Amino acid sequence: MFSVLRSIWIVLKHTFRKRETVQYPEEKPDLSPRYRGRIVLSRDPDGGERCVGCYLCAVACPVDCISLQATEDENGRRYPEFFRINFSRCIYCGYCEDACPTYAIQLTPDFEMAEYDRNNLVYEKEDLLISGEGKYPGYHFYKVAGLAIGGKDKGEAQNEEEPVDIHSLMP
Amino acid sequence: MITSAHTVLAALGVLLGVFTIAPGLIWLERRLLAVWQDRYGPNRVGPFGILQVVADMIKIFTKEDWVPPFADKPVFIIAPTIIMLSTLMSFAVVPVGPNIGVIDMNIGLLFFLAMSSMGAYSVVLAGWASNNKYSLLGGMRGASQMISYEVFMGLSLLGVVLMNGSFNLREIVLAQEGMWNVIPQFFGFLIFLLAGLAESHRLPLDVPEAESEIIAGFHSEYSGMKFGMFFVGEYIGVTLVSAMIATLFFGGWLGPWFPPIVWMLIKTFAFICLFILLRASLPRPRYDQLLSYGWKVMLPLAILNLMVTGAIVVATTG
């Protein structure tokens, strides 16, 4: 009997509690920076595309929603010819972000992607590319990789030593 | 002629009032349950979401009203009307104000008890006519629950009748001028509150419906406006029990400052809110526990209350 009265009293006290509801369209939910929402392709600090077209994201994707074609520019720098994500299939698992070796593909805390037409959920490269660096500012893949491209030879990357001269006996 | 016109007007007024209160209660209940669960509830349609009522009404009126082919058709159709009719008929005897009320019956209290017993038929017939095992279980549960709680519902009110010496609800209200009946008849009030809760088969005593055990009990097979009639009937039942508690134990329309009808409405709404609070806070008892509690605890308590009241009345009046 006492417990019944106590539970009624406890419930009555909830009248003055703070509401848990987020009044969504007017009031936005507080999402963490690592929230897995809309997928973007980021750029390096110089404004070049970070994506090198390695296909690892497409392989990692469990629902096969990523489609791309790699190509190479005159400097030997790889980039995707097209990059397509079908968001009507995407399950926002974040495996593509995990798989990406160049921090190019990133998930963002944005979920407001509703469309009236299913075809509009297929995002092309222009829709995916953002102008900024996303979650990893300052990272520049070609500046830390040992790959030689136009304008940067071997040994010219950050923290990289000159290549060993195999024709010399000097240490 | 004047009196009959007055009666018709009062009847229309009460009918209109009840039919606006009952759907309003759907909104009120959803909002209040939300408040007690740290939510907002329906607050989008119209100011404070009050037009949710209209949306719900449109929805329920335009839904397909389907009678299952295996059902006992005439009984299936009659069942939901019984609960509406019996609860609406009971409102005829509720005195809303000193001169407002459909009928001034000298056996008003008995009429109320008789009509609320009629409500049991609705549950039983709906459960039977649906030709569905869960519905039958619900109907059976409803019948036994209503029969057991009807018994001490009447007994708990006899204390009030003994003290005020009348079955007429108007005279009972007037007799509470000096002191509300809830003070001398506190146990009677508690017993009637519980019995009224069981009578309107609301949560936590919604054993005939018990959606977590037997789907929706007696109204599993109902859809559209037939379901709506059960639904609205339930809310009218809650309003009726609240109005009866206000009338019998809390001095009905009596009160200072405001006009009588406002006091009646305030008191009724207070008890409706109490019913919703009980729904928000208490779990449903097991079916057999509910029945044994009724027969083994509440019935003896009601008889004891009646005997003590009777003894005091005899001793004081000589």
DSSP symbols for A79-119: EEEEEEEETTT-----HHHHH-TTS-EEE-S------SSGG
Q: Above 50 in pLDDT, residue B1? A: no
pLDDT tier for residue B2 given thresholds of 50, 70 and 90: low
Give the best residue of A1, A11, A15, A24 to mutate against chain B (max B CB count within 10 A). Answer: A11
What CATH number is associated with residue A44? 3.30.70.3270
CB A132 within 8 Å of CB A44: no
The beta-carbon neighbor of A11 closest among B36, B39, B40 is B36
**Per-residue pLDDT tens digits for B197-243:** 888 878 788 877 877 888 888 888 888 888 888 888 888 888 888 98
Compute the mean pLDDT over every residue in chain B, rounded to the nearest whole number: 84
The beta-carbon neighbor of A7 closest among B35, B38, B282 is B282
Strands A105-107 and A39-41: antiparallel
Percentage of chain A modeled with pLDDT above 70 = 100
The beta-carbon neighbor of A14 closest among B36, B40, B282 is B36
**Degrees, nearest 5: CA angle B202-B206-B210:** 140
DSSP code of B38? T
Res A21: pLDDT: 85
Res A132: pLDDT: 87
What are A66's strand-pairing partners? A85
Distance from C-alpha of B3 to C-alpha of B9, rounded to nearest angstrom: 10
Is A81 among the domain residues?
yes
**Residues with Cβ within 8 Å of residue A44, at least 6 apart in sequence:** A50, A133, A139, A140, A141, A142, A143
Q: Above 80 in pLDDT, residue B318? A: no
Cβ A12–B281 below 8 Å, yes or no? yes
Return the structure tokens found at A43.
């750029």
Tell me if chain A has a CB within 8 Å of the CB of B151.
no
Chain B: nearest CA to A28, how far in angstroms? Answer: 16
Q: Above 70 in pLDDT, residue B255? A: yes
Domain that residue A75 falls in: 29-136
Compute the mean pLDDT over every residue in chain A, rounded to the nearest whole number: 88
Percentage of chain B modeled with pLDDT above 90 = 0
The beta-carbon neighbor of A19 closest among B39, B277, B282 is B39
Cβ A15–B36 below 8 Å, yes or no? yes
**Range of lowest pLDDT (A53-62, A141-150, B93-102):** B93-102
For residue B273, the chain A residue with the least C-alpha distance is A12
**Per-residue pLDDT tens digits for B186-200:** 888 888 888 888 888
Q: Above 50 in pLDDT, residue B6? A: yes
For residue A10, the chain B residue with the least C-alpha distance is B281
Tell me if chain B has a CB within 8 Å of the CB of A4.
yes
pLDDT tier for residue B110 given thresholds of 50, 70 and 90: confident
Q: Above 80 in pLDDT, residue B252? A: no
For residue A19, the chain B residue with the least C-alpha distance is B38
Tell me if chain B has a CB within 8 Å of the CB of A3.
no
**Degrees, nearest 5: CA angle B135-B141-B143:** 100
In chain A, how many domains are there? 1
Tell me if chain A has a CB within 8 Å of the CB of B274.
no
Chain B: nearest CA to A115, how far in angstroms? Answer: 23
Q: Above 80 in pLDDT, residue A170? A: no
- The torsion angles phi and psi of A68, rounded to 5 degrees, stand at -150, 165
Is A11 among the domain residues?
no
Instruction: Tell whether pTM > 0.80.
Output: no
Surface of B (12-41) touching A: CB under 8 A: 35-40
Is A92 among the domain residues?
yes
The beta-carbon neighbor of A7 closest among B35, B38, B281 is B281
Closest CA to B164 of B285, B251, B101, B292: B251
Cβ B35–A15 below 8 Å, yes or no? yes
Res A90: pLDDT: 92
Q: Above 80 in pLDDT, residue B7? A: no
Res A85: pLDDT: 92
Distance from C-alpha of B211 to C-alpha of B206, rounded to nearest angstrom: 9
Contacts of A7 in chain B (CB under 8 A): 281-282
Could you tell me where the DSSP H helices lie in chain B?
Answer: 2-36, 52-62, 73-90, 108-129, 133-164, 169-175, 186-199, 211-214, 224-249, 260-281, 287-293, 299-317
Is A107 among the domain residues?
yes
DSSP code of B294? I
Contacts of A18 in chain B (CB under 8 A): 38
Number of Cβ atoms within 10 Å of the Cβ of A109: 15
**Per-residue pLDDT tens digits for A135-163:** 888 888 888 887 888 777 777 778 778 88
Burial B131-160, CB ≥16 within 10 A → b, else e:
bbebbbbbbbbbbbbbebbbbbbbbbbbbb
CB B178 within 8 Å of CB B296: no
Closest CA to A43 of A102, A95, A124: A102
B26, B27, B28, B33: CA torsion to nearest 10:
90
Cβ A18–B39 below 8 Å, yes or no? no
Res A95: pLDDT: 93
Give the best residue of A1, A12, A27 to mutate against chain B (max B CB count within 10 A). Answer: A12
Chain A: nearest CA to B33, how far in angstroms? Answer: 10
**Per-residue pLDDT tens digits for A84-131:** 999 999 999 999 999 999 899 999 998 888 889 999 999 999 889 888
More confident residue, A60 or A1: A60
Is A167 among the domain residues?
no
Is A3 among the domain residues?
no
The beta-carbon neighbor of B281 closest among A11, A19, A21 is A11
The beta-carbon neighbor of A8 closest among B38, B39, B278 is B278
- The torsion angles phi and psi of B188, rounded to 5 degrees, stand at -60, -40
CA of B202: how far to CAs of B5, B140, B199, in Å? 36, 16, 8
CB B155 within 8 Å of CB B306: yes
Strands A39-41 and A78-86: unpaired
Cβ B35–A8 below 8 Å, yes or no? no
Tell me if chain B has a CB within 8 Å of the CB of A21.
yes
ipTM above 0.85, yes or no: no
CA of B136: how far to CAs of A101, B139, B187, in Å? 65, 5, 34
Chain A: nearest CA to B230, how far in angstroms? Answer: 27
* Type of residue numbered B286: R
Is A15 among the domain residues?
no
